[in-house]
């Protein structure tokens, strides 16, 4: 079935999913003169959640899109990112975020997820993207001239390119790859509350603070110009480890943070208790492009959240795909379509490796944060030894987004826990 033409004719691209990944990629593609139609399953566009951290590799793209000033007006530019031990609250290491902006040319920002989503929704409306809700996509097919999506109501739509940005539980991923999500046995609770409710809790209003503890961590930062305060509590669920179906429950939340410092314990009663997020990812895969259907965002590379790069990777995906389509369009004869297949191959060639790095590093970072016993003490020693202005661990991710494999920067060199000096570890034991 041929798609009904929109205001500008039939679409060049169908984007399945109206989250941050779907809308940001739709906007990126529309900026290149493509006719884009977004199919969202829900009855209206929106995002559920609380805060997001947006690093320079993303604010750089927002600036190019002309959206950074709007994002700044809705978010917060924190002064520092500080990591502390969740048990004794002592500082382990920090990033000076003003210096980080000088180094990378763009700021580190925190923003409410719904605010960033709204920015892209309004940008899509201005760009003429066709935004359709209540469209439940149940299947995908390649055609002779592109790809087709099948909808639950029995209809179908097609276009030269279909972008599946349908999230962690992607229908496209299930149909085209068939793998399962991977449970970390950790769960996240979130809350965004008026800042007056936390001012007596010893919080740092101008910093992003991460308290790392045995099998748990706690994140805090201000939102919406400092009027709200975001908190995230993450812990390993004993019920998940025992194989129980109902895991990550509020009683486990309270037990997980009983031994933490005052600031963390005071924050726990403020967490939303009617919903929680089991922390799931998937193993990295090498193939995101199946004919003219391309996976994007969490459908392609859902990470654990420890690097705060999930939404950013999706935004980068759309930027890279749009740039490669623009290059192929510029090389095509006047009036002809871009080389869709070449653009998709170029997209996959660079994004798969970068996102694999983020996914695997996020898993390792989570393990590092949640250490106990001697490994925790060794970690603390090594983090305290890091210079505030050492960027060797951020160069590979906060720099400009690579368009080709040769632009991918080298990875950092991990420091083994065993390299912590024995005397320093003994001193750390004494502090405890």
Enzyme catalytic residues? 221
Evaluate the CA torsion angle 157, 162, 165, 167 in order and state its sign. positive
Of the candidates 249, 260, 255, 184, the one whose C-alpha atom is nearest the C-alpha of residue 219 is: 260
Structure-token pair, residue 189: 């609770």
Of the candidates 312, 272, 376, the one whose C-alpha atom is nearest the C-alpha of residue 57 is: 312
What DSSP state is assigned to residue 243? T
Q: Where are the alpha helices (DSSP H) in 332-394?
A: 340-369, 373-385
Q: Are 191 and 182 in contact (CB under 8 A)?
A: no
Q: Are 279 and 188 in contact (CB under 8 A)?
A: yes
Nearest-angstrom CA–CA distance, 311 and 303:
10
Q: What is the chain's percent helix, strand, coil content, to nearest 5?
A: 40, 25, 35
Please name every residue paired with 182 in a beta bridge, in sequence order, or none if there are none.
281
Nearest-angstrom CA–CA distance, 230 and 193:
7
Nearest-angstrom CA–CA distance, 90 and 107:
26
Nearest-angstrom CA–CA distance, 229 and 198:
8
Q: What are phi and psi of 269, to 5 degrees?
A: -65, -15
Dihedral (Cα; 407, 411, 412, 418), 10-degree rounding:
-170
Nearest-angstrom CA–CA distance, 83 and 217:
10
């Amino acid at each position: 079935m041929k798609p009904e033409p929109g205001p500008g004719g039939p679409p060049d691209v169908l984007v399945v999913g109206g989250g941050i990944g779907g809308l940001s990629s739709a906007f990126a593609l529309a900026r290149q003169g493509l006719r884009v139609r977004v199919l969202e399953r829900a009855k209206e566009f929106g995002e559920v959640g609380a805060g997001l951290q947006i690093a320079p590799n993303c604010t750089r793209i927002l600036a190019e899109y002309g959206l950074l000033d709007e994002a700044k007006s809705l978010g917060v530019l924190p002064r520092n990112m500080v990591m502390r031990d969740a048990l004794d609250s002592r500082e382990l290491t920090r990033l000076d975020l003003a210096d980080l902006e000088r180094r990378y040319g763009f700021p580190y920002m925190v923003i409410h997820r719904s605010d960033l989503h709204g920015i892209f929704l309004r940008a899509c409306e201005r760009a003429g993207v066709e935004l359709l809700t209540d469209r439940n996509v149940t299947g995908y097919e390649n055609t002779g001239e592109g790809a087709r999506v099948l909808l639950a109501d029995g209809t179908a739509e097609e276009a030269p390119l279909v972008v599946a940005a349908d999230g962690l539980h992607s229908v496209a991923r299930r149909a085209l790859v068939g793998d399962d999500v991977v449970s970390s046995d950790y769960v996240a609770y979130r809350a965004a509350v008026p800042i007056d409710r936390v001012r007596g809790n010893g919080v740092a209003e101008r910093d992003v603070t991460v308290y790392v503890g045995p099998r748990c961590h706690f994140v805090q930062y201000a939102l919406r110009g400092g009027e709200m305060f975001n908190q995230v509590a993450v812990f390993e669920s004993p019920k998940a480890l025992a194989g129980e179906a109902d895991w990550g429950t509020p009683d486990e939340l309270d037990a997980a943070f009983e031994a933490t410092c005052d600031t963390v314990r005071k924050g726990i009663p403020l967490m939303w208790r009617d919903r929680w997020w089991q922390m799931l990812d998937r193993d990295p895969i090498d193939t995101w492009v199946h004919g003219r259907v391309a996976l994007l965002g969490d459908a392609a590379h859902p990470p654990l959240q420890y690097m705060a790069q999930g939404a950013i990777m999706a935004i980068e995906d759309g930027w890279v795909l749009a740039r490669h389509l623009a290059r192929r369009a510029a090389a095509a004869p006047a009036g002809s379509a871009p080389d869709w297949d070449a653009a998709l191959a170029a997209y996959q060639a660079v994004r798969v490796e970068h996102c694999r790095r983020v996914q695997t590093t996020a898993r390792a970072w989570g393990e590092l944060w949640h250490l106990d016993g001697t490994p925790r003490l060794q970690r603390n020693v090594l983090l305290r030894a890091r210079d505030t202005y050492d960027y060797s661990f951020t160069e590979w991710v906060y720099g400009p987004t690579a368009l080709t494999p040769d632009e991918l920067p080298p990875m950092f060199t991990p420091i083994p826990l065993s390299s912590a000096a024995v005397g320093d570890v003994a001193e750390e034991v004494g502090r405890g």
